[in-house]
């Protein structure tokens, strides 16, 4: 069989791609044929990259509980099918043996970490927030010799994450301000 220059480049490019995917832990059988690179048996879903405030969307292909494909979402008006190098790595959040999947808690002064459930954690977090706010709430402050209403606490700070979408961030910041928080920041700005 005569191998043309174009055919050689296509075949070697596919081979290099398969080798690179194998190094990343992808099942390369799905990529063995250059004409069948798309993963036909995977379930596709969409997600938002959590790594910065741009908020690019991606299509994630999942097979047997593992991410086996990731590409930018062409329908997104933000990234139009592209992903930067950080965005290309978000599959490592899911395919990661070191990912914590349980709530871990270490009591003040203790040396041991314990597994907890959300049923344990949510009331405990709410109790700590409420107690801290109440103990440190300042209703008024003297400004230029006059008492003015400030209704704030400086004892709690909130840090948001870029995994939250615009509407979730809106609700989070409204909630924080309703408690009187003034130190509100976002991971994407840091
Ligand atoms: S890290 Fe990259 S892919 Fe992710 S949202 Fe930001 S620009 Fe988009």
**Highest-confidence segment of 39-43, 87-91, 97-101:** 87-91
Cβ atoms of 190 and 176 closer than 8 Å? no
- Residue with the smallest CA separation from ligand 1 atom 6 is 52
Distances from the Cα of 54 to the Cα of 88, 89, 165, angstroms = 14, 16, 11
Distance 22 CA to ligand 1 centre (A): 24
Give the mutation target among 46, 47, 48, 49 for probing the ligand 1 site: most ligand atoms within 8 A of CB.
Answer: 49
- pLDDT band per the 50, 70, 90 thresholds, residue 30: very low
Question: Which residues fall within 8 angstroms of residue 141, CB to CB, at 6 or more apart?
Answer: 147, 148, 150
Does the structure show a pLDDT above 60 at 9?
no
Q: How many CB atoms lie within 10 A of CB 97?
A: 4
Check: pTM over 0.85? Answer yes or no. Answer: no
Q: What mean pLDDT do residues 131-143 have?
A: 97
Distance 78 CA to ligand 1 centre (A): 10
Q: Which residue has the higher pLDDT, 11 or 69?
A: 69
Average pLDDT over residues 51-79: 92
Residues lining ligand 1, judged by CB closer than 6 Å? 49, 51-52, 54-56, 79, 83-84, 86-87
Between CA 41 and CA 25 the distance in angstroms is 18
**Ligand 1 probe mutation, 53, 54, 89, most atoms within 8 A of CB:** 54
What is the SS3 assignment for 120? helix
Q: Which ligand 1 atom minimizes the distance to the CA of 162?
A: 5
Contact 58, 74 (CB under 8 A): no
Q: Is the pLDDT of residue 140 over 90?
A: yes
Which atom of ligand 1 is found nearest the CA of 48?
5
């Amino acid at each position: 069989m005569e191998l043309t220059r174009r055919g050689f480049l296509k075949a070697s490019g596919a081979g290099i791609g398969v080798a690179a995917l194998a190094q990343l832990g992808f099942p390369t059988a799905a990529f063995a044929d250059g004409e069948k690179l798309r993963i036909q048996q995977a379930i596709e879903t969409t997600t938002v990259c959590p790594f910065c405030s741009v908020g690019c969307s991606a299509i994630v292909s999942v097979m047997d509980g593992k991410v086996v494909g990731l590409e930018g979402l062409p329908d997104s008006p933000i990234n139009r099918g592209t992903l930067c190098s950080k965005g290309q790595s978000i599959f490592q959040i899911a395919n990661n043996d070191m990912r914590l999947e349980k709530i871990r808690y270490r009591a003040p002064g203790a040396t041991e970490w314990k597994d907890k459930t959300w049923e344990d954690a949510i009331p405990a977090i709410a109790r700590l927030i409420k107690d801290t706010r109440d103990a440190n709430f300042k209703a008024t402050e003297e400004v230029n010799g006059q008492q003015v209403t400030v209704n704030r606490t400086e004892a709690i700070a909130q840090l948001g994450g870029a995994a939250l979408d615009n509407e979730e961030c809106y609700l989070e910041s409204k909630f924080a301000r309703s408690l009187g928080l003034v130190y509100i920041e976002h991971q994407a700005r840091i």
